[in-house]
Each structure stands twice: as C-alpha cells, then as structure tokens.
A and B are shown apart, each in its own frame.
Chain A
Amino acid sequence: MTVNERTRSPIPDSLVPTSGEFVFATAQYESGDWDSAPLVPANLIDSVAKYTSLPVAPTGAIVALASDDLFRFPLVFLTGHLPVRFTDAEGANVRRFADRGGMLFVDDHNHDIDGAFHKTAVEELTRAVGPLSQLPNTHPIYSTFFKFSDGPPNTSHELNGWGDNLVHSHLLAAMRGNRIAVLYSNKDYSSEWGYHPDNKRFLAIDNTKFGVNVIVYALTR
C-alpha cells in the first residue's frame, strides 16, 4: 500500500476516539518517512496509562495530514528523517488544525539542525502556521505533570554527540494565543522513546516522562 492509498483510507471507526478517550495519533504525510518511529506511540500510551488516570486507547492511530480525519485528533505526533514537503492540502490542513486549537508535536528524528528534515520541516511549518520561536524553559509544559526545571530533558543522542553534536537547550514552538499550536523538537525523542514499553524496567529513570507532560499539556491547556 502506498502512502497515497493510505491517505485516502478513512480512519476505521474502531480507532476513532470514543467519548473522553485519548488516542495517540501519528501524522502521515506524503513526503519523507513519516513512520520512522513506530514504537513511540505504544511507549507513550504505556506511560500515560501508567502515570495518569486518563482513559487512553490501547493502540494509536495513524492519520493523514491531508485528511479531514486530522480534526478528530487534537494532538498529533509527526516525525521523520527525510525532507518534508507538505502538499497544498497538507499545508492548509495543518494551518486549520492549529487555528482550531490542535497541537502538532514535531520531532526531528535526525537530531541534526543541518539535516534535511529540520530545514525542510521548519520551512513547511513556518509557511503553514507561522515562525517557530524558542519556548521558554519555564513554560507550563515543563511542569504540568512531571517537573522539568531545566526545560526539555536531554536525550542520549544529544549527550553522545550524535547528529549535530549539540545539546539543544530549548524546544521551538508556534503559538496561537497563549497555547502551543506546534511544538518542535530537535532532541530526537523519536529515538529516545523508540523501544518496547516492557524495556522501561531496565531504565533507572523513565525517559518518556516528558512525553506524558506533552500529552497532559495538550489535554488540559
């Protein structure tokens, strides 16, 4: 099945969120490799279920950016390594999604500010929703559930010097009013969180806690 074919496929009713249930949705876009982090949704769903009392769907959904189904999922995760070029329909939908109050969480799977994903994704997002700017490390997203007093938690990829050999001190964001419409990360959480949830038991500190904050922020602010 090609991406185009999948784009035209409606979301099955079984994956449409029922009343009050949170469904983790991953964005599918025509260009690039949208499905580069297939283990992230399950891992974050596991963390949300573990730490909160939120009703959460046990499986995530994949939603095409160009589809009207996008508006069924007010929080959508988008990642990839490859250049991103939104189609006209995708760009328009992302703008509408942000204007209506949705939140797009974008992570650069390359962790490389000179990389193709970063350059093209920032261009496309700027065109769709406006410029991205640094999100202050005192923003409520860092304290809405777990406390991250230094801002976004670092990833092992940053600390190991992979990618651009930088530790990024801030996330970027495009705002609508005082709410985040697009949250953009260069930190490669896609790699950091890309493991089977059962393997959390081998970690001294659960590194998906910031993912819980992103979801709780989206659901409460």
Chain B
Amino acid sequence: MAAIATLLWRAIRPPVAAGVDVVHGDLPRALVQWTVSPVAEMRVVLDATPDPATRDWLRALGRAGGSVRWSSSRPLGAAAVVAEPVPEPNGVTRVRFASVGGEAVSVADDAGAIDSLPRGGARALELGAVAGAVRASGTTFTATSEVRDSVVLRPVLVLGAAGWESKFTIAALEERGWRVASRVRVAPNVDVTQGPLGSIDTARYAAVIVLDSTAAPSSNEIARYARAGGGVILAGSTARSGAFAALAPGRVGARVAGVAGAVSSADPRTGLGGFPVSSPAANAVVLEARDGVAMIAARRLDAGRVMQLGYDETWRWRMGGGDESAAAHRAWWSRLVAAVAYAPLVPRGSGLTSVDEAPLASLVDAIGPSTPMEGRTSPPRDITRLDWMLFILIAASLLTEWTSRRLRGAR
C-alpha cells in the first residue's frame, strides 16, 4: 500500500525544484525528464554545440525557474557563418565564415561542398548561386545560414562630361547588369541622356556617380540625397566642386600619374593616374592606397555613404589591360557601387527554420557561459528507475500475496 501511495504521490505531486543533474550524452531524454520533473539545478556536459531546438529547450527550462549550467567535455569550436545578398544586380550571395580554436571547417550548401579552412580562420566568398542553406561544419559544431532577404536595386545615376571615362563607366555598370541613368554633358545646355531622369532621391536611384565638375550645379541636391541614405561616388577631382567638398571623405590632392605600362600588370590600377585623397576625415576609411597615398576612401554621411575615388581614367585599364581587363573593370566598378548603394532589404518570407549562424554564441546567449562542473559528474538521477522499482515491489507483493493465498487453499 505504501508503494502504491508513493507511486500515486509521485504522479500527482506538484513540481518541486530540487536535485542536480549532469548529462553527458543523453540530453534529449534528460530534457524530457526535467520538463516532467523539474529540478533545481540542471547541469549539462556537452561534447558538441547543441542544435537550436535543444538550446531553446534549455533556455526555457532556465526561464521556468531552474538553473541551467553547462560545460564541455572538450573545447567547443566557436564558429559563425552568414549568407547575405550583395547589393549587385547579378544575385550574388556573399558567404562569410569564421572559426577560432584551430578546428577545421568545411562549408557546403545543399548542392555540395563550397570551401574549407583546414585550420580555422576566416574567409569570405561570393557565389553566383547558393542552393538552400549554407552550413559550416566542424567536429564540435554546425553553423547554418540562409539568405533571408532580397535587395531592391534601383538605377545608378552617372553624371559627367562626354568622354571615355563617362562612356566606359556607364558601359561597365550596364554590362554588369545595373540599370543606368546618365546625363552626359556634350555642349553648354546640351546633354546626352539615357534612362529614368528625375529628382535625385533614394526612391529613384541606388547610387549617384559624379565623374567631374559638370554636376556641380546639382551638388546641393546630391548632398541631400547622401544624407538621406543615398550612396555617392565622387570621382577624380570632383570633390573640389560646389557642395561636394563638404561631403567628401577627404581633400583632393595633386594629381599623380600612373606607372607606364602597369595597367596590364598584376596590379593594374597602379597604371592609372588620379587625384589622391589627402587629409582624410576622422570618420573616413581608406579603402585603397598606393605607395602610402590613399586613392579610394569612404565615409558615412548621416544615413548615406560617400566614396571619394581618386582615379579619373579607369577606362585605360579596361582598354589597355589585357583580355581580362574588361571583365575586371566592370566587376570593380560594380563593387564600388555596391559598397555605397542604397539597397533596401525585403524579407523573403519563407520559413527559415534551419538558421543557426553562430551556435556557440547562441548557446551562451541562451544559458550563459560555460561554468566548470564541481561535485558529481555521474549520469542524472533516474527517476523512471525508481518508479520501476516501486512497480516491481508492488507486483512482487501482489504475487507473494497471491501465492500465499493459493498455498493456504484460499481463493
């Protein structure tokens, strides 16, 4: 009767926080047990970072009043992966991944392997297409990411005088897939135009490229556009003109010549002349320097970005740089525009259940950092075993009672 009463009590008793449990491998089973029979302190010894569901479960147990602590039986790799759209027209996806601790990382999507880092570290890739989720896997972790957003790319506005730089800048961007609007000055009050032209605002243009001082009359409008979130590239000596000087990341230095013949070398932009960015502003970031002289710099301006591009004859690279130079030139220009472009994100809206971009960081966020385990490290108290023992005791008592009655001739 006592055993029956105990079983009944155990079934209907209110949750009482008590006890300490340490789990090595059978974490799912322990989670069920802790949910049914909460304990005051739950201690987990992990041999790999748990999946998001397990992690969320542990977090929920902790929020329900218990104390959840964890440690690991071996060092867990801290890794992260993220897949995000690049604001370029060709649907390029940028995948960045990193791990510390020297653990090898392999990166794959649903179509197969993409890359690996045998000794950890960090790397960024740009992929024309990604199939499903991107996973960065090591011995102790699997980080997963998926492209969550699409980018809205509006046309690029190119302003300048008629010339080879205007022509080839427009051509490079169009060939790369950008929609280009342009206003190219040919004669006083005579412009050659193409594409949608209108007021310069973020609802119309992703970026504005100003190639020379012919756009100076629009400099105040372009300044407002930049402050409102637009991206502006000031090429050559443009930053000397009108309101552009206040936008630019730096001052315009004295023109430097390119190295003769270098446009066909491995470092083709050394063959280009241009106006260095001198005296960069405090918040300017130098993106490219040559012999210690900044040639490209950028900075934030309120909600927008402004880039100062010292080169003013990049067309020479495209025409004179070799068979790959045209493709390199258009990719480079597209990258510059992408770096400043106003490109609002639109959520894709699909169920992204597999995203777990930084599993160890998420674990720490969920239940705190790892804490060393003191005391016992044995498997958790097996409540079900106690229940079984009580059941066997009751069954044995009943059998004994039944046998005794049979031996005594009783029915």
Contact = CB atoms under 8 A, between A and B. Distances in A.
A22 B163 contact: yes
Interface in B310-366: 312-313, 315-316, 318-320, 323, 325-326
A88 B255 CA distance: 39
Interface stretch (B24-32, B140-148, B180-188, B385-393): B180-188
A101 B330 CA distance: 11
Nearest to B264: A68
Interface stretch (B164-172, B238-246, B372-380): B164-172
Contacts of B167: 74, 101, 218-221
A96 B255 CA distance: 30
Given A145-B190, A219-B163, A219-B166, A100 B318 contact: yes
Give chain B's interface residue range (CB within 8 Å of chain A): 20 to 34
A155 interface: no
B320 A68 contact: yes
A101 B318 contact: yes
Interface string A20-55: 101000000000000000000000000000011111
Contacts of A55: 163
A19 interface: yes
Contacts of A221: 167, 170, 192, 194
Given A100-B318, A179-B171, A53 B164 contact: no
Nearest to A20: B163
A144 interface: yes
A145 B312 CA distance: 25
A100 B313 contact: no
A74 B162 contact: no
A85 interface: no
A212 B316 CA distance: 23
A218 B171 CA distance: 11
B272 to A, nearest CB: 11
A216 interface: yes
B317 to A, nearest CB: 10
B319 A177 contact: no
A99 interface: yes
Contacts of B401: none
A84 to B, nearest CB: 23
B315 A74 contact: yes
B161 A54 contact: yes
B326 A53 contact: no
A200 interface: no
Interface in A89-103: 96-97, 99-102
Contact of B323 (A19, A96, A145): A96
A54 B315 contact: no
Given A20-B163, A53-B187, A218-B167, A72 B192 contact: no
A18 B170 CA distance: 20
B162 A52 contact: yes
A71 B186 contact: no
Interface string B254-295: 010000000000000000010000000000000000000000
A138 B194 CA distance: 15
A100 B326 contact: yes
A72 B320 contact: yes
Contact of B164 (A74, A99, A179): A74
Contact of A220 (B162, B318, B325, B326): B162
Contacts of A53: 161, 185-188
B21 interface: no
Interface string B107-136: 000000000000000000000000000000
A22 B315 CA distance: 13
Contacts of A22: 163-164
A54 B186 contact: yes
Contact of B171 (A20, A51, A101): A101
Nearest to A96: B323
A179 B172 CA distance: 12
A166 B157 CA distance: 44
Contacts of B192: 144-145, 216, 220-221
Contacts of A216: 162, 186, 192
A220 B212 CA distance: 14
Given A20-B165, A71-B320, A219-B166, A52 B186 contact: yes
B409 to A, nearest CB: 108
Nearest to A13: B260
Contacts of B163: 20, 22, 54-55, 219
A45 B190 CA distance: 19
A99 B185 CA distance: 26
Interface in B149-199: 161-168, 170-171, 174-175, 182, 184-188, 190, 192, 194
Closest 3 CB pairs of A and B: A71-B319, A71-B320, A219-B162
29 contacts: A17-B164, A19-B255, A20-B161, A22-B163, A52-B162, A52-B190, A53-B161, A53-B186, A54-B162, A71-B320, A72-B319, A72-B320, A74-B167, A74-B315, A99-B326, A101-B168, A101-B318, A101-B326, A144-B192, A145-B187, A177-B174, A177-B175, A216-B186, A219-B164, A219-B184, A219-B186, A220-B166, A220-B170, A221-B170
